Amino acid sequence: MDATENRYSLAYKQIAKAANDTLPLKKLVSAIAASAARGLQASGCAVMLLNPRREYLDIAGAWGLSDLYLRKGAINARKSYPDILDGKIVAVDDIYTDRRTQYPEQAARENIKSLLGAPIIQRGEVIGEIRVYTREKRRFKPNEKDFISTVANILALTLEKIELAQDLNNRHQSNITQQKRLTSFSDLPLAPIRPVTFGHPSEEEFARLLDFYQVEWLYEPRSFPLSSQDNRITEMFTPDFYLPEIDLYIELTTSKQSLITEKNHKVRRLKEVYPDVSIKLLNKGDYLKLFARHGFIPLGESKMTGVQRYLFSKTQIQRRVKLLAKQISRDYQGRELVLIGILKGVVCFISDLMLNISIPVTVDFMAISTPADKSDLLIRILKDLDTDIRDRHVLMVEDIVDTGMTLNYVLNNLTARKPASLKVCTLLDKRVRRLIDVHLDYVGFEIPDEFVVGYGLDMGGKYRNLPSIATL
The CATH number of whichever domain residue 362 belongs to comes to 3.40.50.2020
| Phi, psi (rounded to 5 degrees) for 458 | -130, 170
Mean local confidence (pLDDT), 323-328: 92
pLDDT at 245: 82
Domain-located, residue 32: yes
pLDDT bucket at 163, cuts 50 / 70 / 90: confident
C-alpha span between 112 and 137 (Å, rounded): 9
- Contact 132/65 with Cβ under 8 angstroms? no
Q: Is 402 a catalytic residue?
A: yes
C-alpha span between 429 and 425 (Å, rounded): 10
Peptide bond into 326 cis (omega under 30): no
pLDDT bucket at 255, cuts 50 / 70 / 90: low
pLDDT at 304: 55
> Are both 21 and 150 inside the same structural domain?
yes
Tens of pLDDT, residues 175-214: 544 444 444 444 444 444 467 788 888 888 888 888 777 7
- Compute the residue count for the chain: 472
Tens of pLDDT, residues 262-319: 888 899 999 999 999 999 998 877 877 777 677 666 544 445 566 677 788 887 888 8
The CATH number of whichever domain residue 240 belongs to comes to 3.40.960
> Are both 85 and 109 inside the same structural domain?
yes
Residue 375 in this model has a pLDDT that exceeds 50: no
Domain-located, residue 407: yes
Tens of pLDDT, residues 359-371: 999 999 999 886 5
User: Closest Cα partner for 49 from 41, 61, 37?
Assistant: 61
Domain-located, residue 299: no
pLDDT bucket at 328, cuts 50 / 70 / 90: very high
> Are both 387 and 265 inside the same structural domain?
no
Residue 165 in this model has a pLDDT that exceeds 50: yes
Residue/partner pairs of 78-87 with CB below 8 Å, 24 or more apart: 78/330, 81/115, 81/117, 81/129, 81/131, 84/117, 84/118, 84/119, 84/126, 84/129, 84/131, 85/50, 85/119, 85/126, 85/129, 86/119, 86/126, 87/119, 87/121, 87/126
Side-chain half-sphere exposure of 274, counting CA atoms within 13 A: 15
Domain-located, residue 368: yes
Arithmetic mean of pLDDT over the chain: 86
Domain-located, residue 350: yes
Domain-located, residue 103: yes
C-alpha span between 3 and 335 (Å, rounded): 49
> Are both 150 and 29 inside the same structural domain?
yes
Measured between its terminal Cα atoms, the distance across the chain in Å is 68
Give alpha helix (H) positions in 344-462: 347-356, 405-415
User: Residue 83's domain spans which residues?
Assistant: 3-167
Domain-located, residue 58: yes
> Are both 52 and 85 inside the same structural domain?
yes
Count: domains in the chain: 3
> Are both 387 and 447 inside the same structural domain?
yes
pLDDT at 170: 54
> Are both 344 and 287 inside the same structural domain?
no
pLDDT, greater one: 462 or 422: 422
> Which of 110-124, 129-143, 275-289 bottoms out in mean pLDDT, i.e. has the lowest?
275-289
> Are both 223 and 343 inside the same structural domain?
no
Local structure of residue 308 (DSSP, 8 states)? -
Decide which of 124, 145, 167 is a domain's last residue. 167
> Are both 351 and 397 inside the same structural domain?
yes
Residue 382 in this model has a pLDDT that exceeds 80: yes
> Are both 332 and 461 inside the same structural domain?
yes
DSSP strand pairing (56-63 vs 218-219): unpaired
Residue 384 in this model has a pLDDT that exceeds 60: yes
Decide which of 167, 190, 214 is a domain's last residue. 167
Domain-located, residue 208: yes
Which one of 286, 402, 441, 458 is the catalytic residue?
A: 402
C-alpha span between 405 and 434 (Å, rounded): 8
Helix (H, G, I), strand (E, B) or coil at 390: coil
| CB-count burial class (<10 Å; 0-12, 13-18, 19+) for 261 | exposed
Radius of gyration of the chain (CA): 25
Decide which of 235, 267, 293 is a domain's last residue. 293
> Which of 136-140, 368-372, 394-398, 453-457 bottoms out in mean pLDDT, i.e. has the lowest?
368-372
